[in-house]
Structure 1
Amino acid sequence: MATASHLTCLCGSIKEAGTLLTSQTLPVENDICHCNTCRYTTGSLGAWYVSLTGSPSEESLSNAIAYKTSEKYTRFFCKKCGCNAFLRSDRDGSWAACSGVVEMEQTEGMTGRLSVQKNISRVLSHIYVGDGKDGGIAPFLTKLGDRDVPCYNTMPGEDGAEVLKKRELQQLRETLLHQPASETRDRGEAIEASCHCGSCQLHIAPPPYEVWSNGWYVPKGDHNKYYARFCGCRSCRLTLGFTLQPWTYIPPSQIYTVNDEPIVFGPKARETTQIEKLKHYQSSEFVLRSFCIVCGATMYYQSFERPYIIDVSVGVLRSRFGNIMAGEWLEWDRGIVSKRNECVDEELVEAWLSRPTA
């Protein structure tokens, strides 16, 4: 088994020794939460954590911003790069770290595939799947390794908690995979993207594809939709805080403020204040990552080397139908995960890429 060496965000402002983890032996057993709060505060399609023995250091917390989402929990993210890092229970004072900030000893500095599967987590269940009409990604992750993973509509033990039946999961999968945009005219003239606190909001207009449109970001099927897929690269992981970053690829001409002003992209974005609480982090010479400085949600990514496309984080999209995966707007690629060689939750990747089972 692998061992956790340390915890870190991408910029390194938050860093802890692996000994802070309750267990340094990987994978760690946990559950994936699919609730609205976890998605809207992160930009991820779900949140899964690893428990800590106590509080992170004062140095790490001084470099983090605290955001209280309820009477139960306070979340902490890096004030420089936006990485979601910690979760504190305000009921019992316990701490957890976002699973994506864990670095594995056997994977550091490696870019090739290992003969041994890399997994930070061993997911045991999906909770709050009922927060989305489509169940989100949970229906695709019900067979992990050799075990069946149940999907709960809420939290086990809560009033009304139920396990989704196999036929219900199959129906949810089919709905996502076969939902033509042409049959969902009620989806609206634009789809909204909004963080949890509402400080960062975008409007995304429908695709502008013409007969001459080409490129890997154009869906192969329904051209009334945008292309979407997951990225497992280390940089995305350490700015999101979770191991799979969901992106949809939007031409910049289709992204507006709530006042219908075109968003400024490129190097000038750093000098422009269209959305007051949107902060930019330059993770490399040609890459700018943008997040909400109030609640920590990852909003979008841009590369100056491909200015014709912007990666918008799917976790902040607000489907009119309540669909987490926004199937009426997005066509998901289940044939590839970007930078799969850098993924550290290979079990989840394999389940997502496999054919749905009943």
Structure 2
Amino acid sequence: MVSAEDVITQTANCLCKANIFTTNVPKSKLPLKGWACHCESCRHVTGALCTLVTSWPEKRASVDVSGLKAYSFSSRYDLLFCSICSTPIFFANKQETDKELGLLTGTLRNTPGDVVKITNHIFVGDTQDGGASMWLRKPNADGTEAKRYRERAETDKGESAEAVLSDWPPHNSLTGSEAKKEGPVPIWCKCKGVSLVWQPGSYNGIKDDELPWFVDPATHKALAGFCACESCRLFGGVDVWNWGFAELKDIRFANKQPGFPASSDALRALVDAKDPSIGTLTYFASSSDAQRYFCSNCSASVFYASDDRTFMVDVALGVLGASDGARAEGYFSWAYGGAISHLEENSGYWRYDLFDRVAKEGERWRIDRNYPKNWRRLAREKAAEKA
């Protein structure tokens, strides 16, 4: 018999709090064992660069998921998500209905202590460039490395070089921090209900002080970064969230139909009017001046828009189909090892230390690949020196 002192309450919920799940876990079972999946389907169904998943520690029959919408993710699994705010919460095996539910760990509330341990990365080969596995190589409090598999760990024969990835991909196979790609980038959710194209703008001839704030003056790439806020984490159900930035004037419908909105005000109006051109794109107002756009059919996070910068959106990097890989280094200037937005929200909780490890691994990646610090990081460090 486990005493009350030997258990800890774990709670998972969606962004809008319409769906809350609570269970008690023996402290001896912590940290919960989890894994990271980098497959194309997971990226395009969440908008994140990977999914982090563990088993929900409660019998499936005891979990009331009637408030969640089911999307047929594959022949084996349904994804269960909140239709109001988009948060994907569970993967449910539809062939073996007695199997535990797979929980997206980003939905767990912040608590002190060591809550999740990532043991392996699967389908890293789908990313082409390693994706988020580069800064999640040593994500655990005990310092252990999460093994990276090209495909599914349990089906790889043995642990050959072909199965377990170490120093992959090689530096010369990556676009790199300075080279820039010019071609269009598809934006699509898993079900293809949202299908757009981003053609990065040309800033040739524009003075540095006239560039949009998120454009690198040297490479003219857009900024890509890390966010640790609760809203972003719950929006896509993933602990480590990554955004890239784009001007709305550079986004169009994939079918070349004219009329994609050039401002966030116009985008919101088009969705509110239920214009069929917008497909399955909808939004949740996470605050009075912010809209989080997602696919109403499969849950994929797509955009974040704010009323104080109507000319642009934050783009969920997982829904991009860049030719050079999941991180799209040819289009984005990454602040590897730099500041993580809203880190302070996690102070005193387990994710604060997770983000510290993410930053350190990002810095290790940057140095090993001989990438320079990006301009935003250099500006912040210079300002800190003067303070």
Q: Quick check: 1:80 aligned with 2:84?
A: yes
Q: Please tell me whether the aligned partners of residues 153 and 164 of structure 1 are also in contact (alpha carbons under 8 angstroms).
A: yes
Of 37-46 and 120-129, deviating more is 120-129
Q: Please tell me whether the aligned partners of residues 264 and 306 of structure 2 are also in contact (alpha carbons under 8 angstroms).
A: no
Which residue of the partner structure matches residue 154 of structure 1?
A: 151
Does the C-alpha gap of structure 1 residues 346 and 119 become closer, same or farther in structure 2, counting only changes over 3 Å? farther
Which residue of the partner structure matches residue 254 of structure 1?
A: 250
Q: Quick check: 1:138 aligned with 2:138?
A: no
Q: Which amino acid aligns with 1:150?
A: K
Q: Please tell me whether the aligned partners of residues 2 and 105 of structure 1 are also in contact (alpha carbons under 8 angstroms).
A: no
Match for residue 43 of structure 1 among 47, 52, 58? 47
Question: Residues of 2 paired with 1:347 and 1:84: CA distance?
Answer: 24
Unaligned runs of 5+ residues in structure 1 are 107-117
Question: Residues of 2 paired with 1:77 and 1:239: CA distance?
Answer: 10
Q: Which amino acid aligns with 1:242?
A: V
Shift of 1:221: 3.8
Which residue of the partner structure matches residue 114 of structure 1?
A: none
Q: What is the TM-score with the length of structure 1 in the denominator?
A: 0.85
Question: Residues of 1 paired with 2:62 and 2:299: CA distance?
Answer: 20
| 1:160-309 paired onto structure 2 within 5 Å | 162-166=163-167, 168-169=168-169, 171=170, 175=174, 177-178=176-177, 180-181=179-180, 184-185=181-182, 188=183, 190-209=184-203, 210-211=206-207, 212-214=209-211, 216-223=213-220, 225-258=221-254, 259-263=257-261, 265-266=264-265, 267-272=268-273, 273=275, 274-309=277-312
Larger radius of gyration: 2
Does the C-alpha gap of structure 1 residues 172 and 347 become closer, same or farther in structure 2, counting only changes over 3 Å? farther
Q: Please tell me whether the aligned partners of residues 8 and 26 of structure 2 are also in contact (alpha carbons under 8 angstroms).
A: no
Question: Residues of 2 paired with 1:194 and 1:276: CA distance?
Answer: 11
Shift of 1:235: 0.9
Question: Residues of 2 paired with 1:311 and 1:332: CA distance?
Answer: 14
Classify the secondary structure of the residue corresponding to 1:222: coil
Q: Point out which structure has higher relative CO (alpha carbons under 8 A, 6+ apart).
A: 1
Shift of 1:226: 1.4
Does the C-alpha gap of structure 1 residues 4 and 340 become closer, same or farther in structure 2, counting only changes over 3 Å? farther
Does the C-alpha gap of structure 1 residues 120 and 324 become closer, same or farther in structure 2, counting only changes over 3 Å? farther
Shift of 1:174: 8.2
Q: Please tell me whether the aligned partners of residues 139 and 151 of structure 1 are also in contact (alpha carbons under 8 angstroms).
A: no
CA RMSD in angstroms, aligned pairs only: 2.7
| 1:82-97 paired onto structure 2 within 5 Å | 82-93=86-97, 94=99, 95-97=101-103
Shift of 1:320: 2.3
Richer in helix (by share): 2
Classify the secondary structure of the residue corresponding to 2:358: helix
Question: Residues of 2 paired with 1:137 and 1:75: CA distance?
Answer: 21
Q: What is the TM-score with the length of structure 2 in the denominator?
A: 0.79
Question: Residues of 2 paired with 1:257 and 1:247: CA distance?
Answer: 20
Shift of 1:25: 6.2
Unaligned runs of 5+ residues in structure 2 are 1-5, 369-387
| 1:4-43 paired onto structure 2 within 5 Å | 4-19=9-24, 27-43=31-47
